[in-house]
Amino acid sequence: MIQVKIFDEDHEDDLEESVNEFLSVIPPEKIVDIKYQIAVCDNVHSEDETMFSFSAMIIYKK
């Protein structure tokens, strides 16, 4: 059966840590694909702050 696990973090280091933790318990031969995305937008509540969303989707065989 094919499964997905989705991660979403505000900082790339947090995403890296979460993904690596998950991958440490999945055998490499079970990984089908990993998708990565960054979304950037201005924070409507602050003129000087830009919001980032770092996300990854891991597709794997269960």
Which CATH number fits the domain 2-61, given the four candidates 3.30.43, 3.30.1660, 3.30.450, 3.90.660? 3.30.1660
Q: How confident is the model at residue 9 (pLDDT cuts 50, 70, 90)?
A: very high
In DSSP terms, 53 is beta-bridged to 39
Q: Tell me how far the alpha carbon of residue 14 is from its chain's centroid.
A: 9
* pTM given for the model: 0.83
Q: How confident is the model at residue 11 (pLDDT cuts 50, 70, 90)?
A: very high
pLDDT recorded at residue 23: 97
Query: How would you classify residue 59: left for phi > 0, otherwise alpha for psi between -120 and 50, otherwise beta?
Result: beta
Q: Where are the domains of the chain?
A: 2-61
Return the amino acid letter for 16. E
| pLDDT tens-digit series, residues 20-50 | 999 999 999 999 999 999 999 887 777 778 8
Question: Across the beta sheet with 2-9, what order do the strands follow?
Answer: 2-9, 50-61, 31-42
Map tokens 């499964």 to a residue.
3
